[in-house]
Structures are given as structure tokens and as C-alpha cells.
Structure 1
Amino acid sequence: MFRLVCQRGALGLFNHQNISSIVVATTTRCFTTTISNSNGASLIKGPPYNILFFGTDNVSIHTLKALNENKKNKGDLVNELQVVCPKSDKKEEVETYSMNEGLAIHYPHPDTGMKQFQVPLTETNKTEFDLAIVVSFGYFIPKSVLSKFKYGGINMHPSLLPRHRGAAPMYHTILENDDTTGISVIELHPQRFDAGNILMQVKDNQYRKDKLYLQVLNELAELGSKSIMETLREFPKLSSEAKPQGEQGKTLAPKVNRQMSKIDCTNSTRKDLWILYRAFSDNISLHCMIYNKKYKTNKRIKVRGMITPYQIDPLLEFADTENQSIYQSLESDLQSYQTRFPQSELSPGTYFLETDKSKSYHNIMWLKCKDGWVGVTKIFEEGKKNPVKASEFLFGKNIISINDPSTPIPYTQIIT
């Protein structure tokens, strides 16, 4: 069986199955949502293609550069390339690059977005573009726009769909502590975000659970770029073999916010804080409040460096080996501290800086959480220009260490 779609105007292809014919009427085009006939001959021609690229940011830019380099040099995959991107005062990466490269740029309407977007024609022969390629664009592309492309549109999504559908898949990959990740190249769905048939999925074999967000982003963006180029190379074949996503295993990945990146020592384990550090420390920041005696007020500090906690995840055993002696030495001295000061309550949020240089854990800010301690190595203080080592941040602030033989850590030495 196959499904006929009737539509005035242009031909659009979204879901593909084998057929033997295509019907075109005078005023209304009727076509099946497939790409090959009964003999296997492709109704979608092979590359090069005329491409309209939709993108915005540091994820999109990898694919745009690859497309443009192919057009300028080989030309075996890309014949013509134009760009659609949001217009902004700060000039996102896709817009800046496109201007510098002399690529034709088109903008969504600031109020209506893509709803009334007028799809341009190719510059060379004033015909429809073959394909829309979408990477981290931010706007939903409606059926009225998709129908203007000869072969519809494809999207690179940085997760293994249907896991992490939504605007922030890479954040949620880390926040959900996934053991693996990758990218999906899918057909654009005419009604829903991230729900199209799968053309290609590639696992990220370099992914490790000690990598921070921007490292993961760059890896997946580059992997996605290569996968888009491979999809173009094999597009007729991949389109004929496209598979529905299904709903089994589906999770959602909505946008994140700054409140999610606040340290809560009382309710967070070492593993929790490490996950938050990976997700937020190199972008919107992992932060907490600390009392500033000079200004007699709480000030925000951002954690920019952390030692991988010991024994929190089997996939971090390589990091455990490096840090095992540090944590074992710390735990031993903490027991001695509790023996000297049995009444001293080291509640979650307590911190100290070890100044004894003979200790392997010296010059690190140790922060107490629900099930132990995490080591902070670099801090950015609100109002300052640059991040500094934790030892520099705490220097001269009368911070008590656990090896001070006469003074326990005061209950006021705590972050919130």
C-alpha cells in the first residue's frame, strides 16, 4: 500500500515507501510519499543539490561550513547554498559566517517566525531548492514552507532519537547521566519537532562522562556535520530506507534555566554535583552564594574547576585511578579531625581550604555535600574580571583547614 498526497503548488516528500508511479494533475499535484519505483530506480536524483540551510549557532556552524566548503571546492554534493537564520543584534555564528562568505541570507519574520516565510528561489535558474537542511534553527518549519522544496527537508539532531526530543538534548544527555550519546539525521516532520523518519544515526564513540558540555557540543556538532554530508552522498538510498522513530524510549529535553544550575549541598550527592558541573560550569555556570566579610553580604561564586569525585560511576574508573590517593588522604584526615573535635558539625555547605603543602589535597576548596566532599579548584567571583584558583580566592579570608590543631571549622564557614 501507499498513500497519495494532493497539494496545490509544489511537490513535497516527507515519508518514503516504494511505488511504481507518480500522478501529476494540471492544477493540483498528487504524489505518493515515496522516492523509488518498482524497479528500484530513484525518483530523487543524486547529488549535487541546491540547498537552503536553516541554522543559528555554534552547533549549526559546523554543518554550514562543511556545506560551503564542498560548494566552493568539490561541488559534488552542493551546487547552490543559501541561508536562513534569525536576525539578532549580537550576530550569531551562522549569520556572521554567511556575511563573511557572501552567502545570500534570509530572515524569519520577528513576530510570525516561519508561518508566513516566503521561500526564495535558486539564484542560478530561479527554481525551487532541492532540499532544506536544518541544524539548531530554533523555529518550527511548517508544511507550507516544506512543500516548496523538491525533496522536503532534513534535520540533524544531537541525540539518539527518540531520546531527548526538544530544544536542549545535549544538556539532558548529561543531566540524565546517559552512558552514551550520538546524532540523528531525520526527515523534517510537517507537524511536530524532532519526530521525522530516521535517515541515519551515529553513536559518538569519543563520548566520556568526564567531558563538559561544550566538549560534548563540539563533538556532536562535528559528528553531525559529517553525517549530514554522508546523508547527502547517499540521499536517494537513505530516503528509500527511512524508518519511523516510534515512541518507545521517547524522552523530552526542554530548555534549561539558571535555577537548575544552583548548588544545593543539602540535597545533592557528590555524583549530583559532578553532573551539574559537567552540564553547566562552562556555559551558564554552576553557582552558589558565599558570605563576603568585607562587604558583609552574600556574593555569587561560579565553580569553574572541579576534581572528578571518587567512586561515583563505573564509567569514571579511569578518573578514579588519578584521584584515589587524594580522596583517601582526605578521608583519613577528616576522621582525625572528627576525633579532635567531636562536637564540630560538618554540615552540608561547609567548606575548607587545606594549606598544609604536604597534603595531596592542599590548595583545593573542599565542599561538603549530602554524602561526602567535592574538590573545587577554580572559582569566578561575582564582580571580578577573571576566574582564579580556589586557593587565591580563599587566601587571606581566615579560612580554617581540617589540619589546624587548635581551631574547628566554624558553623558560619558555609555556602548557600
Structure 2
Amino acid sequence: MLFGRSLLNHYFKYKRKVIQNITEINRRCIATCQSPKVLFFGTDNFSLPSLQKLHQNKVEVGVVTSFKSPANCVRSYAELQKLPLYRWPITAEQCAAYEVGVVVSFGHMIPLPIINAFPSGIINVHASLLPRWRGAAPIIYAIMKGDTKTGVSIMQIQPHHFDIGDILAQRELPIRSDIHMPELHSALSQLGADLLLDTVHNLKDQLAKATPQDEKLASFAPKITSRITEIMWSEQTASELYARYRALYGFKCLTTSFVDKQVQLIEVQQPQQQLAASLTPGQFTFHRGRKSLMIGCAGGTLLEVTQIRLEGKKPMSAQDFNNGFLKRAASLEFTRNKHVACC
């Protein structure tokens, strides 16, 4: 009797597990069957996770990318996975087999005939909470301006202008006060890939619920130029410069000048404790205990630098810079970077 009851319990447990598995398989099949055929536009390592997410979840996808760079990771993935691959620019006829276009960090304005070639238009994954930080460098500006949160937006592509279309979906991400750009870039690329997959699986509903952006809240993150690296010691506090350093980390170095030579600040931090140093903006001293340069900034604040590169030299520690240059220098002061100022 006990044996029969135990066997019956096992049978019902097994039956429930089989039903759950079948339900999950059916759910995935329905989502896959309903997913539109996607033509993906992308070029870089921010684009790649989105392409991988679509492909690995059985969304039928073709790829449009630039063939100029041999190091194009999107092109390499498409070739490795034998995905349909198109060289930019493309024609409207090449889009005819696809329901929707998806743009992720593509870098090219999409013309109206291409947008109109897709029955559901083109959607874009943008690395900010639009309408904040429209433009080419939203991640850099979010860190540089001290934002405490950012995120990703899925929006409809409109002709002639970047990042103005209606919003289909958004997802937030907090910004730590010590985060550096590559870490946030990676986190947002993964967040964008997840949100894109959800959006593609529910495209008709998301398009129907799309909402216009509030133009009053718009801010802009234009393309980065060399001017953004220039330090204005009398105008920028140590906190502002450290935020800019973290925002540009891995991409560009902050720059200044010393005895008419350009200097790049390679490793920068804020002192963990307030140090008793009275330095005017741009003036610096070598702190032997910390083996670093302490530089005066606006508002009586101090910036700490542990590694620099002097024009024509290899990167060196602050201690090597002190031993090799400072002892015979006529002035211990960084000045405006003339190489950038004249550009």
C-alpha cells in the first residue's frame, strides 16, 4: 500500500514537470514564431551583444555594417555564424525581405527610403534615458556631468535627425560615483541587448504604445573632440576633473602643458582625505609619502596624479617625473594645453 502511494506521488510529480517543460517550450516557440525578421545595423562592441542576443534567441536576422575596418566585430560575428551580410550603404530592395530594421551604435544617418522599406520601420538602441543625452557620446556625458543614473532607450528612427523618435521602451541603471567609462559601456550594451530582445518579441504592442519625447527635457552629447581633454585648472574643481577622467578613461587622456610641452594625465584620483596643501590652480607639488603629484584646482581642491606622459616621452610614474624633471624646473605649474587650445 505504501509502495503504491509512493509510486503514485512520483507519477504526479513527473507529470507536473513534463507539463511545465512543455509549457515553457510552447512559450518560447510562440515568441520565436511571432518575432519579426530583423535587419540589424551595427559596427562595434556596443552593437555586438544586441546582435548576439537576437541570433542566439532564434530571431531571424541579417546584418548591415561597414566593411572599411578589418577589426569590425559585428562583421566577424556575422561571417562566423553565416548570417546574411550586407555592405553599407544598402538599397531599399535589399530591405524588402525584413519586417523591421534595428540600429545599434551604427554611426550613419539612415535615409528615408531605407526607413520606409520596412513595414514596421526602424528602431534604435540608444545608451541613455532619452531625451537626456541625445547624440554620439551619451555614456561619456552621463559620467562627466555627474549623473546618478542612466539606462537604455528603444526608440523609432526618424529621418534627418538623430535620437528624436518616439520611445518604445526604457530601462534604468544606476551610475556609481567611481565607475569608469568601459565598465558602464559594457553594462549598458548588455542591458540594451536584453531590452531589445523583449521589444522585438513584442514589437506590435510596443509600437502601439510608443510615446513622444519631451523636447523640454532634451540635452545633447555631441561627438567627442580633442578640446574635451583640455584642463582649465582655474575653472574646474578636482571632482569635475576626476569625473571627466573617468568618462574618457580608455578613450582619451586629460591634457595640460608643462614648460611648453603637452602632458597627458594617465592615472588620476581624488585624495581620500583632505590634505593640507595650499596650491593655486595649476600649481603642483610632489607628495613623497603618496608618491604622487598634488595639483591645485578651482575652489581650493586638489587632484592627485600617479602616472603621466610628457610629450616625446614614454609614460612615467609621478616619482620618475619628480626625479627627472622637477628638480631642475624653473616653475612647478601646469598651464593651458596650447596644442588643444589652438585647434
TM-score (norm 2): 0.80
- Equivalent residues in 2 for 1:174-189, closer than 5 Å: 174-189=143-158
Residues 160 and 398 of structure 1, relative CA distance in 2, 3 Å threshold: closer
1:266 counterpart = 2:234: yes
Q: What amino acid does structure 1 have at the position aligned with 2:235?
A: N
Out of 118, 133, 139, the position equivalent to 2:102 is 133
Amino acid in the other structure paired with 1:233: H
Q: Match of 1:223?
A: 191
In structure 2, do the counterparts of structure 1 residues 101 and 299 end up closer, same or farther at CA, with 3 Å as the change threshold? farther
Query: Once the two structures are aligned, what percentage of the paired residues are identical?
Result: 30
Q: Which amino acid aligns with 2:317?
A: K
Select the residue among 89, 95, 103 that pairs with 2:75.
Answer: 95
Show structure 2 runs of 5+ residues with no match. Answer: 1-31, 336-343
The residue correspondences of 1:187-266 to structure 2 (distance < 5 A) are: 187-205=156-174, 207-266=175-234
Is 1:379–2:308 an aligned residue pair? yes
Deviation at 1:171, TM superposition (A): 2.0
1:52 paired residue number? 39
* Alignment partners' CA distance in 1, 2:88 and 2:169: 28
Conserved 8 A contact 2:168-2:210: yes
Deviation at 1:210, TM superposition (A): 1.7
Per the alignment, residue 120 of structure 1 pairs with 94
Q: Could you tell me which residue of structure 1 aligns to residue 284 of structure 2? A: 351
- SS of residue matched to 1:242: coil
Name the count of aligned residue pairs. Answer: 304
SS at structure 2 position matched to 1:196: coil
Query: In structure 2, do the counterparts of structure 1 residues 65 and 383 end up closer, same or farther at CA, with 3 Å as the change threshold?
Result: farther
Indicate if the aligned counterparts of 2:40 and 2:63 stay in contact, CA closer than 8 A.
yes
Contact kept in structure 1, 2:92 and 2:113, CA below 8 Å: no
Distance 1:86 1:363, change over 3 A: same
Out of 252, 261, 267, which is 1:305 matched to? 267
2:317 alignment partner in structure 1: 389
Which moved further from structure 2: 195-204 or 140-149? 140-149
Query: Could you say what secondary structure the match of 2:40 adopts?
Result: strand
| SS of structure 2 residue aligned to 1:200 | strand
Distance 2:136 2:163 in 1: 9
Aligned partner of 2:333 in structure 1 is 414
Please give the alpha-carbon distance, in whole angstroms, between the structure 2 residues aligned to 1:96 and 1:367. 45
| Cα deviation digits, residues 146-196 of structure 1 (max 9, x gap) | 222232121101111111111221222223322221110112224532122
Distance 1:388 1:119 in 2: 56
Cα distance between partner residues in 1 of 2:203 and 2:176: 31
Aligned partner letter, 1:138: G
* Mapping for residues 273-288 of structure 1, pairs under 5 Å: 273-288=241-256
CA–CA distance in structure 2, aligned partners of residues 56 and 364 of structure 1: 40
Q: Give the letter for the 2:124 counterpart.
A: N
Within a 5 Å distance, the mapping from 1:56-67 to structure 2 comes to 56-67=43-54
Give the superposition deviation at 1:277. 1.1
Q: 1:414 to 1:160 in 2, by over 3 A?
A: same
Q: Which amino acid aligns with 1:163?
A: R
SS at match of 1:88: coil
Partner of 1:147: 116
| C-alpha distance in 2 between matches for 1:368 and 1:302 | 16
Task: Name the counterpart of 1:168.
Answer: 137
Structure-2 change in CA distance of 1:382 and 1:92 (3 Å): farther
Aligned position for 1:364: 292
Gapped runs of 5+ residues in structure 1? Answer: 1-44, 122-126, 292-297, 310-322, 336-345, 401-409
In the aligned structure 2, how far is the partner of 1:200 from the partner of 1:223? 12
1:218-270 residue CA offsets vs partner (Å, 9 max, x unmatched): 12111111110111222232222211213120112211211111112122222
Give the distance between the partners of 2:144 and 2:331, measured in 1 at CA.
31
Structure (1/2) with the larger helix percentage: 2
Residue 411 of structure 1 and its aligned partner are, at CA, apart by 6.2
Per-residue CA shift, 1:101-157, capped at 9, x if unaligned?
333322224xxxx6xx34425xxxxx6201111011111212211222232121101
Please give the alpha-carbon distance, in whole angstroms, between the structure 2 residues aligned to 1:168 and 1:142: 22
**Distance in 2 (alpha carbons) for counterparts of 1:384 and 1:69:** 47
Q: Classify the secondary structure of the residue corresponding to 1:224.
A: helix
- 1:234 and 1:388 map into 2 onto residues whose CA distance is 53
